[in-house]
Amino acid sequence: MPDFFVDPNIARAKTLHADFYNSAEVFEQCREKIFAPSWQFIGNTALVKEPGDVYPFTLLPGYLDEPLLLTKDKTGGLNVLSNVCTHRGNLVADKACQLNNLRCRYHGRLFGLDGKFVSMPEFKEVENFPSPDDDLPALETFKWSNWLFTSVNPVSGAELFFSDMMERVSWMPLDYFRPHPELSRTFHVKANWALYCENYLEGFHIPFVHAGLNAVIDFSDYATELFFPYSSLQLGLARNPADCFDLPESSPDYGKNVAAYYFWVFPNMMFNFYPWGLSVNVVEPVSVGECRVRFISYVWDESKLDKGAGAGLDKVEMEDEEIVENVQKGVRSRFYKHGRYSATREQGTHHFHRILAEFINK
């Protein structure tokens, strides 16, 4: 596998080598080196509202492809568990439901809603049984307001990924944000997942690609803030103060015409806060040259929908897809190996590339 290097000095640095977007070997390495140790979005706590609720899901279908269970046990505790029976590997639950216990339908092994082994038929003669290995493996769970995250092999605590964002928007009434399925979408993009992310991480292309968004956002004041080590913020300031957040004095952005907060969390999550609410964008690898992008929307103030920077998101997405898919074709060229960064406009992409190189070279 090639060794990737991105100079920490953006003025000297070259972009990631084109192999990152084209190599099947690199794509496979990213699964365990980048996605398994990072935190991933599960969804809203409303998935399991009552004690006894069980919600099976797959983490990054087709890539990590890990079958998991979200449960609310009888004490009200939230658990993220492996959905694979520790006896012979059958899936324990196949649909959302309410249960007193988790029973495998293959041979009857019984678990509590916290994943602990309870009983198993025909196992009286088995020595050294049960052991902790007979429990369903429990994954670490991180809860921020009503949103849940997990990691199959975390190398760092969730605070390193989320704390800067959480502090910056701590004034928002996040507990009042409600799922809005009508606004949620899934897009299939014929481009490597990293190309989609790095496009998101710079506003440099806005005047050239997004005429509608450029009419709302004041590009001259568009700023990128790097939160080390694993997140960043692009602060979108508006030309028209009518379509902005009503910021309290406690906000560090008080006095600014903030139209949008564009937060990115490594490796593949975007949290776009608008005056109407939040669009969570999750980029899911499918193949070397294809990704799936889920837009999951949560609304706070419906009266502000379709206004300002948070309007016309589908149109902005189509514009992004067109340009990113063209880039995917371009980086396959035998004549393209590296590019260079704008030191004033591509700090976010440079930051992303540095982290990718850090993880993939381990």
> pLDDT digit string (tens) for 37-89?
999 999 999 999 999 999 999 999 999 999 999 999 999 999 999 999 999 99
Domain made up of 43-151: CATH architecture:
3-layer Sandwich (2.102)
H-type alpha helices, 172-312: 193-200, 206-209, 211-216
Cα→Cα distances 126→103, 106, 118, 121, 130, Å: 20, 19, 15, 11, 9
Instruction: Give residue-wise pLDDT tens across range 90-101.
Output: 999 999 999 999
| CA-angle at 116, arms to 128 and 141, nearest 5° | 130
Judge whether 78 and 70 are in contact, CB under 8 Å: yes
Average pLDDT, the chain: 93
The bridge status of strand 290-299 relative to strand 178-179 is antiparallel
pLDDT category at 271 given cuts 50, 70, 90 is very high
* Pick among 3.90.1310.10, 3.40.50.620, 3.90.380.10, 3.30.565.10: CATH of 159-360: 3.90.380.10
pLDDT at 222 over 80: no
Cα→Cα distances 105→92, 131, 254, Å: 7, 21, 56
**Which residues have a Cβ under 8 Å from the Cβ of 308 and sit 6 or more positions away?**
216, 238, 240, 243, 244, 259, 260, 274, 275
Overall average pLDDT of the 329-346 stretch: 95
Residue 27's H or E segment, with its range, is helix 24-30
The owner of tokens 């490597």 is 192
Overall average pLDDT of the 128-156 stretch: 97
Instruction: Give residue-wise pLDDT tens across range 283-335.
Output: 999 999 999 999 999 999 999 998 887 787 888 889 988 999 999 999 999 99
pLDDT at 279 over 80: yes
Structure tokens at 2: 């090639």
pLDDT category at 238 given cuts 50, 70, 90 is confident
Provide the pLDDT for residue 228: 78
Provide the pLDDT for residue 293: 97
Nearest-angstrom CA–CA distance, 320 and 166: 27
Provide the pLDDT for residue 309: 75
Overall average pLDDT of the 257-272 stretch: 96
Nearest-angstrom CA–CA distance, 343 and 236: 19
Judge whether 224 and 232 are in contact, CB under 8 Å: yes
Judge whether 15 and 6 are in contact, CB under 8 Å: yes
Nearest-angstrom CA–CA distance, 184 and 170: 24
Provide the pLDDT for residue 212: 78
Cα→Cα distances 31→151, 284, 359, Å: 12, 11, 11
Domain ranges of the chain: 43-151, 159-360
Closest Cα partner for 123 from 215, 115, 80, 131? 131
pLDDT at 218 over 60: yes
